[in-house]
Amino acid sequence: MGQNRKQGYAEIKEIILGRLKDGTWPAETRLPDEITLAGSFGCARATVNRALRELADEGFLSRKRKSGTHVNRIPQRQARFQIPSVRDEIEATRARYRYHLLHREPRQAPAWLRGRIGLADHDQVLHLHCVHYADNEPFQFEDRWINLTAVPSAADESFDQRLPGEWLIERMPYTDVEMTFSATAADLTQAEYLSVNRGQSLFVIERTTWLKDAPVTYARLSHHAGYKLKTGY
Amino acid sequence: MGQNRKQGYAEIKEIILGRLKDGTWPAETRLPDEITLAGSFGCARATVNRALRELADEGFLSRKRKSGTHVNRIPQRQARFQIPSVRDEIEATRARYRYHLLHREPRQAPAWLRGRIGLADHDQVLHLHCVHYADNEPFQFEDRWINLTAVPSAADESFDQRLPGEWLIERMPYTDVEMTFSATAADLTQAEYLSVNRGQSLFVIERTTWLKDAPVTYARLSHHAGYKLKTGY
DNA sequence: GAGTGGTCTAGACCACGGT
DNA sequence: CCGTGGTCTAGACCACTCC
């Protein structure tokens, strides 16, 4: 059974994936245990272990002690996206990046926001509107709310130069993030700042972060239709 | 420097993440090398290696031979989604699921599709339109193209009961997938089948799959605005 | 050339979970 | 109980890449 010597974990992953794709090991199959596989691949158990562990992380296999490694009926399809910062995203296209702060107002948190991210009634927030331009074309409209109870120093920052996203990430650790993607029809504010007509289709990313259950910030990032997010698998 | 004994890789990850978040190791910092860290954590180098490797995979660190391990300026933001089948997604809301096939036509692949997924000029494809309903409200409009060269048996399947997505995944489980998310204005077809007005905002998922570089299928899944894809971190 | 991460090994012990 | 994966170790060699 000994095959070619010197298989690395990456090659072993490829070999196993090949057997999944060509039907050698159809769904529900129980794979040989790690020691057996190590023998047939001519490598150490740890090497097989890493290959199988990564394939399981990627959703192709399920592993359980004692019952072994099984081929998933439907490979778990997890789409993985890299979300770059706007600035990087724009500069990556060789376009010139420009940022403009349009609105900055400390205020009581509105009820919808309190409910959405879990603020107390008395919490003060800082509300910002900004636009990110690529070659002077509006690229993203950012509607951001920062919880001043969690980040009091934001009250002293003008944000007329610093991007709120980058400023926050530099000083505020976070423990949890939630993002949602959706489509929406442009409201008056979005239409004005993105130079589109009201009602036009926009792509929206919403991002909320918390630090140990304390909400830090909620941002709503709107893009022209035509903006596409693509998986980086 | 020896700290508590018996640190596992998961604990080490937590400790290091803690130092990133509390500012002990700010952005751009070069971390001690693996051997030094192993000494201070009281564990083997392989254990530190795994912790650092995973933190780099998750976007917090960058590692390069010789130059060492550095703290990323902005942690790579990654969004991870599980993409459920429409049927599961609808049934999970306790709504009644219904499927309807509207159009089924074998034909030459149009040029835009050939270019998009890489088909030869002579390849035949099967073109399908279907709608997925939740409690009799149209939920998703599916515009799908199946490469009959890669999946000849699709020509013999009527798809009036079987969902194309599920049928395909049963037969061709381990494909490579690319997905994109975007917003669009409803065209006439989408508007009609989703019962919205032309021009209304829709959320679109495009999904292309290949099996060993051979294109298998391209699907364009449109949803009402209001549909949201949500992720954890 | 030399420092650093990338990987592999052979062996060990542990933890979970069927039987 | 006991088979299986989960993890750890100590050591080794290799492959980049900066100097």
CA distance A210 to B69: 27
In 3D space, the residue among A229, A188, A202, A137 whose CA is nearest the CA of residue B199 turns out to be A202
Indicate the helix (H) or strand (E) that contains A73. none
In 3D space, the residue among A226, A221, A225 whose CA is nearest the CA of residue A84 turns out to be A221
Per-residue model confidence (pLDDT) at position B6: 64
- Name the residue of chain B whose CA is nearest to A80's CA: B80
Side chain identity at residue B165, one-letter code: G
Q: Is residue A169 helix, strand or coil?
A: helix
Within 10 Å of residue B78's Cβ, how many Cβ atoms? 17
Residue A53 burial class via C-beta count within 10 angstroms: exposed 0-12, middle 13-18, buried 19 and up: middle
CA distance A164 to A157: 9
How many angstroms separate the Cα of B112 from the Cα of each of A103, A119, B120, B202? 43, 49, 12, 21
User: Using a CB-CB distance cutoff of 8 angstroms, which residues of chain B are in contact with residue A231?
Assistant: 177-180
pLDDT tens-digit map of A119-165: 988 899 999 999 999 999 999 999 999 999 999 999 999 999 999 99
Asked whether residue A106 carries a pLDDT value surpassing 50, the answer given is yes
Question: Whose structure tokens read 């130092």?
Answer: B19
- Band of residue A232 on the pLDDT scale cut at 50, 70, 90: low
Asked whether residue B85 carries a pLDDT value surpassing 90, the answer given is no
Q: Is residue B165 helix, strand or coil?
A: helix
How many angstroms separate the Cα of A78 from the Cα of each of A58, B81, B83, B86, B93? 8, 5, 6, 15, 21
Q: Is residue B104 helix, strand or coil?
A: strand
Indicate the helix (H) or strand (E) that contains A92. helix A86-92
- Name the residue of chain B whose CA is nearest to A50's CA: B50
CA distance A178 to A58: 21
Per-residue model confidence (pLDDT) at position B133: 96
Per-residue model confidence (pLDDT) at position B166: 92
Within 10 Å of residue B205's Cβ, how many Cβ atoms? 21
pLDDT tens-digit map of A30-85: 999 999 999 999 999 999 999 999 999 999 999 999 999 999 988 877 777 877 78
Q: Is residue B105 helix, strand or coil?
A: strand
pLDDT tens-digit map of B110-120: 999 999 999 99
Per-residue model confidence (pLDDT) at position B2: 41
How many angstroms separate the Cα of B47 from the Cα of each of B1, B43, B84? 17, 7, 35
In 3D space, the residue among A181, A177, A59, A76 whose CA is nearest the CA of residue B58 turns out to be A177
pLDDT tens-digit map of B39-62: 999 999 999 999 999 999 988 999
* Mean pLDDT computed over every residue of chain A: 91
Interatomic distance B118 CA / C5 C1' (Å): 38
Please indicate whether, in this complex, the C-beta atoms of B182 and A76 are within 8 angstroms of each other: no
Interatomic distance A202 CA / D7 C1' (Å): 48
β partners of residue A68 = A64
A·B CB contacts under 8 A? 140
Interatomic distance A96 CA / C7 C1' (Å): 42
Asked whether residue B230 carries a pLDDT value surpassing 90, the answer given is no
Asked whether residue B213 carries a pLDDT value surpassing 90, the answer given is no
More confident residue, A173 or B89: B89
Per-residue model confidence (pLDDT) at position A31: 97
- Band of residue A1 on the pLDDT scale cut at 50, 70, 90: very low
- Band of residue A197 on the pLDDT scale cut at 50, 70, 90: very high
User: Using a CB-CB distance cutoff of 8 angstroms, which residues of chain A are in contact with residue B214?
Assistant: none
Considering the entire predicted model, what is its pTM? Answer: 0.87
Per-residue model confidence (pLDDT) at position A69: 97
